[in-house]
């Protein structure tokens, strides 16, 4: 499933044009020739791939590899220097309802005056629409989402009084309540406790069982083979993309992480475990 270098080069010579045959028309997320730059310094280059439907896809790569930027660029949160993004075959702005986003936990102020239920209800605001108040039906949906992440007992808790892992689960519930088809999650496993990690993994599996597609920025190489059936190895460019069993190899990891051998050791152990 990795893009051949030749076709990518060809694609670069035709900017802003759909690359045609190699892209699946109904892929949940189809990224064409995307480059993102901050202050003229490119952060990610020539990303060109289709995320296949119904897969749990992990995005891994070293710090500064552009993992979060990739997700944000797909969601129009950072400007793209070039390229386009299709969600289920149509431009993303037309498909917002089908996409849910879990940002990094540090991006919001947890001292904000709201409780867990209120935060999750925010996931429904898009459906509720302008000026309309939140109704009982939406709060019930939010409660159900809290239950799916095991946080139903904390609905009335002010969000600053939740632990980091609980905050992460509430964030996840806010995305679940949107009932989307494609989920983009930015480091949901960062700094969480074991119970939260289990809860999130369960949610990911449930989503997959329901036919949803999930893209997760991930930092822990050891758990990649157990959590994700597809993996995107990213270091400013796509190093490898495909089923975990095929592309999560020592060779590809070395290409992704360069000389960081300690990480490779961790990965080697993980692969040994996965193959067992």
Partner 1 sequence: MTTLSPIPTDGPHVVHDTALNLGDVVDVLLLRDYNTMLVVLATVVLGLAAGAIGTFLLLRRRALMGDALSHAMLPGIAIAFMVMVAFGGSGKSMPGLLIGAAVTGLLGVAAVLAITRLTRLKDDAALGVVLSVFFGFGVALLGIVQDMPEGSPAGLASFIQGKTASIVRKDLWLILIVAGVVALMTVLLFKELALLCFDEAFASVQGWPVLTLDVMLLTLVTAVTVVGLQAVGLILIIALLIIPPAAARFWTERLGVMLALAALIGGLGGWIGASISALVPRLPAGAIIVIVVATIFVASMLFGARRGVVARLIVQARLGRTVRRQHLLRAIFEHVEAADAEDAEPIVVEATLVQERSWSRAALRRLLRWARRRHLLAAVGDGRWRVTDLGLTEAARVARNHRLWEIYLIHHADVAPSHVDRDADQIEHVLGPRLVRELERLLEPAHPAGTVPPSPHVIGPEGG
Beta bridge partner(s), residue 231: 58, 242
Among the listed ranges 4-12, 80-88, 102-110, 222-230, the one in contact with partner 1 (CB under 8 A) is 102-110
CA distance 187 to 105: 8
Residue 41 lies near partner 1 (rule: CB under 8 A)? no
Contacts of 138 (CB under 8 A, 6+ apart): 121, 124, 127, 128
- Segment lying near partner 1 (by CB under 8 A), choices 18-26, 40-48, 113-121, 251-259: 113-121
By CB under 8 A, residue 158 contacts partner 1:
yes
The least distance separating partner 1 from the CB of residue 163, rounded to whole angstroms, comes to 12
Tell me the Cα Rg of the chain.
Answer: 19
Tell me: does residue 93 bind partner 1 (CB under 8 A): yes
Considering Cα of 118, then 124, then 125, then 129, what sign does the dihedral take? negative
- Distance of closest approach, residue 33 Cβ to partner 1, in angstroms: 22
Cα 181 to Cα 70, 194, 230, distances in angstroms: 19, 27, 17
Q: Which of residues 45-74 bind partner 1 (CB under 8 A)?
A: 72
Q: Of 11, 47, 60, 119, which lies in the binding site for partner 1, with binding defined by CB under 8 A?
A: 119
Site string for partner 1, 159-198 (x = CB under 8 A): ---------------x---x--------------------
Question: For residue 275, with 0-12 CB atoms within 10 Å meaning exposed, 13-18 middle and 19 or more buried, which class applies?
Answer: exposed
The residue within the footprint of partner 1, chosen from 18, 37, 81, 128 (CB under 8 A), is: 128
Please give the Cα distance from 186 to 250 (Å, whole number).
24
Helices (H) and strands (E) in the chain, counts: 11, 10
As measured in angstroms, the least distance from the Cβ of 15 to partner 1 is 26
Nearer to partner 1, 32 or 138 (CB): 138
131, two tokens: 């000026």
Among 45, 101, 183, 227, binds partner 1 (CB under 8 A): 101
Q: Is 37 in the site for partner 1 (CB under 8 A)?
A: no
Residue 168 and residue 192 in contact, taking contact as beta carbons nearer than 8 Å: yes
Where on the chain is the footprint of partner 1 (CB under 8 A)?
72, 75-77, 93, 96-97, 99-101, 103, 107-109, 112-115, 118-119, 122, 125-126, 128, 130-134, 158, 174, 178
């Amino acid at each position: 499933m990795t893009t051949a270098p030749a076709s990518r080069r060809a694609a670069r010579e035709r900017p802003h044009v759909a690359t045609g045959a190699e892209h699946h028309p109904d892929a949940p997320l189809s990224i064409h020739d995307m480059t993102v730059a901050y202050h003229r310094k490119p952060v990610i280059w020539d990303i060109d791939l289709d995320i296949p439907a119904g897969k749990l896809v992990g995005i891994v790569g070293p710090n500064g590899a552009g993992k979060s930027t990739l997700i944000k660029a797909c969601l129009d949160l950072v400007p793209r220097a070039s390229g386009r993004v299709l969600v289920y075959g149509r431009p993303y702005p037309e498909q917002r309802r089908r996409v849910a986003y879990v940002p990094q936990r540090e991006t919001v102020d947890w001292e904000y005056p709201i409780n867990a239920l209120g935060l999750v209800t925010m996931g429904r605001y898009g459906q509720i629409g302008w000026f309309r108040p939140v109704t009982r039906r939406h709060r019930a949906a939010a409660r159900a989402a809290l239950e799916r992440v095991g946080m139903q007992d904390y609905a009335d808790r002010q969000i600053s009084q939740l632990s980091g892992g609980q905050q992460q689960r509430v964030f996840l519930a806010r995305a679940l309540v949107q009932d989307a088809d494609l989920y983009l999650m930015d480091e949901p496993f960062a700094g969480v406790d074991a119970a939260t990690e289990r809860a999130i993994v369960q949610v990911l599996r449930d989503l997959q069982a329901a036919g949803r597609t999930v893209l997760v920025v991930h930092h822990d190489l050891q758990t990649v083979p157990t959590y994700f059936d597809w993996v995107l190895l990213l270091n400013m460019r796509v190093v490898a993309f495909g089923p975990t069993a095929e592309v999560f190899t020592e060779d590809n990891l070395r290409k992704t992480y360069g000389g960081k051998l300690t990480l490779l050791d961790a990965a080697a152990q993980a692969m040994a475990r996965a193959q067992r």
